[in-house]
Amino acid sequence: MLLLRIEYEVGYYKGLIMKLAKIKRKNPIHVDILVGKDEVFVMSLDDGFSASFLYLAYLKARERGLRASLMYAKYIDEGWLPEEVRKAGAKWLTRGLSEEEIRSLKNLSVTEHIFARW
């Protein structure tokens, strides 16, 4: 998996979302875009079409003067996952999660957590 971490800028983010939506209407592409507090994360599989979109996003960010970092996903130890995720996963093995726990987990970004450790 290829990863791109970009400084958040509202115009850039909206344009990127619109461009991806337009492409998805015509062709299948394996790209996801997440937004954090002050960063945008673009993830793609390593097929050429998806990787080309990610690189386009990188070039556009650099053209706009935004900080951007290209990365390639690699193995992480389970200790890199947030403690809340590990506890919830272990609990889920034997019983369900409450609505409150589910809401809490939905508001937790594992990607941000892992990127913050790098």
Q: Does residue 118 surpass a pLDDT of 80?
A: no
pTM: 0.70
Any idea where the domains of the chain sit in the sequence?
2-72, 78-117
Average pLDDT score over residue span 7-19: 96
Give the residue carrying structure tokens 């394996």: 30
Q: Does residue 88 surpass a pLDDT of 90?
A: yes
Average pLDDT score over residue span 14-33: 95
Domain 2-72 coded CATH 1.20.120 = no
Q: What is the pLDDT of residue 110?
A: 83
Q: Does residue 73 surpass a pLDDT of 90?
A: no
Cα distances from 92 to residues 52, 79, 88, 95, 97, in angstroms, run 38, 18, 6, 5, 6
Please, what is the average pLDDT of the chain?
Answer: 92
